[in-house]
């Protein structure tokens, strides 16, 4: 990432540069190879691809500065960058950074992806935020990779839950709990008071049991596998969300609670 306070002389080499080679690159997309294939120029002249490799483009993404080659930005034919250079090829020779009104915190993952790096962070929330950026920059392959990583579930044991994750004090959990994208099959949640939100989004709760639990704030059971999940003597379920979950209502809830949930159209 380029730093603030850089000298303007760093970009003087592209000022007034002939950028007529940009359009031929953009017109050379080969669908069968999913890449731009520009033939080498005749007569020993430098190829258009080589010119694109040498041309440094500066980007200002929400106040964060980055430098990369034009060739890197043009690697993905359907991307945001190809679109803007098709519409405004003169941007390639700009002496000023191209401003993009997005959060630069995540842009290094976008740029590294274009450079061939597939490493992604493990934090689910951070991944969701990068996913939004991948969608903006129209990078479908990166989107798919992130979605696959998000959908993978890590297994949580009863011991891990009770002795690390919940951090309950005498059965009271005072911090938000994030148990999304987890394999929680057969886990027992017993005699617990959740004073903050608890998130089970896209987790497997098959055969899990919630016994004598109180949900003071929203419990998010969205898009979960809840085959044979049971709720016994639990309070606060009317504050919960069950959107997209697979639930066997008669098996999962006591009759009175089941009736209220259906009346409220929560399941």
How would you write the chain as a 3-class SS string? Answer: CECCCCCHHHHHHHCCCCCCCHHHHHCCEECCCCEECCCCCCCCCCCHHHHHHHCEEEEEECCEEEEEEHHHHCCCCCCHHHHHHHHCHHHHHCCCCEEECCCHHHHHHHHHHHCCCCCCCCCHHHHHHHHHHHHHCCCHHHHHHHHHHHHCCEECCHHHHHHHHCCCECCEECCCEECCCEECCCCEEECCEECCCEECCCCECCCCEEECCEECCCEECCCCEECCCEEECCECHHHCECCCCEECHHHHCCHHHHHHHHHCCCC
Per-residue confidence (pLDDT) for residue 101, from 0 to 100 = 95
**To the nearest whole number, what is the mean pLDDT of the chain?**
81
Residues 6+ apart with CB under 8 A from 7: none
Residue 26 φ/ψ, nearest 5 degrees: -65, -25
Residue 58 φ/ψ, nearest 5 degrees: -100, 140
- Distance separating alpha carbons of residues 212 and 190, to the nearest angstrom: 6
Tokens of 99: 């401003």
pLDDT per residue, tens digit, the chain (267 aa), is: 444 444 333 333 334 444 454 555 555 544 444 444 444 444 444 555 566 667 788 999 999 999 998 888 888 888 999 888 888 877 877 788 999 999 999 999 999 999 998 888 877 788 889 999 999 999 999 999 998 888 776 889 999 998 888 988 999 999 999 998 899 999 999 999 999 999 999 899 999 999 999 999 999 999 899 988 999 999 999 989 999 888 876 778 988 888 988 888 888
Interval 152-199: pLDDT, tens: 768 899 999 988 889 889 999 999 999 988 999 999 999 999 999 999
Tokens of 265: 């159209």
Tokens of 80: 């945001």
Per-residue confidence (pLDDT) for residue 59, from 0 to 100 = 93
Q: Are β-strands 198-199 and 225-226 bridged in parallel, bridged antiparallel, or unpaired?
A: unpaired
According to CATH, where is 2.160.20.80 located in the chain?
Answer: 154-263
Tokens of 79: 């991307």
Instruction: Assign domain 154-263 to a CATH class.
Output: mainly beta
Q: How many Cβ atoms from other residues are within 10 Å of residue 157's Cβ?
A: 14
- Distance separating alpha carbons of residues 179 and 114, to the nearest angstrom: 32
């Amino acid at each position: 990432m380029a730093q603030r306070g850089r000298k303007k002389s760093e970009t003087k080499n592209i000022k007034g540069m002939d950028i007529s080679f940009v359009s031929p690159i953009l017109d050379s997309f080969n669908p069968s190879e999913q890449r731009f294939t520009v033939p080498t120029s005749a007569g020993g002249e430098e190829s258009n691809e080589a010119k694109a490799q040498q041309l440094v483009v500066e980007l200002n993404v929400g106040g964060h500065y980055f430098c990369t080659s034009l060739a890197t930005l043009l690697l993905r034919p359907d991307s945001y960058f190809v679109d803007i250079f098709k519409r405004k090829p003169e941007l390639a020779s700009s002496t000023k950074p191209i401003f993009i009104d997005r959060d630069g915190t995540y842009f290094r993952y976008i740029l590294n992806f274009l450079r061939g790096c597939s490493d992604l962070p493990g934090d689910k929330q951070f991944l969701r935020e990068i996913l939004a950026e991948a969608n903006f920059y129209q990078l479908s392959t990166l989107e798919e990779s992130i979605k696959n990583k998000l959908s993978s579930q890590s297994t949580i044991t009863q011991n891990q839950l009770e002795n690390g994750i919940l951090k309950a004090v005498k059965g009271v959990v005072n911090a938000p709990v994030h148990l999304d994208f987890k394999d929680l099959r057969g886990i027992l949640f017993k005699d617990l008071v959740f004073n903050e939100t608890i998130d089970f989004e896209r987790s497997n709760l098959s055969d899990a049991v919630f016994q004598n639990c109180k949900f003071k704030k929203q419990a998010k059971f969205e898009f979960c596998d809840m085959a044979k999940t049971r709720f016994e003597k639990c309070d606060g379920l009317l504050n919960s969300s069950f959107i997209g979950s697979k639930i066997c209502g008669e098996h999962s809830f006591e009759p009175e609670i089941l009736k209220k949930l259906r009346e409220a159209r929560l399941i």
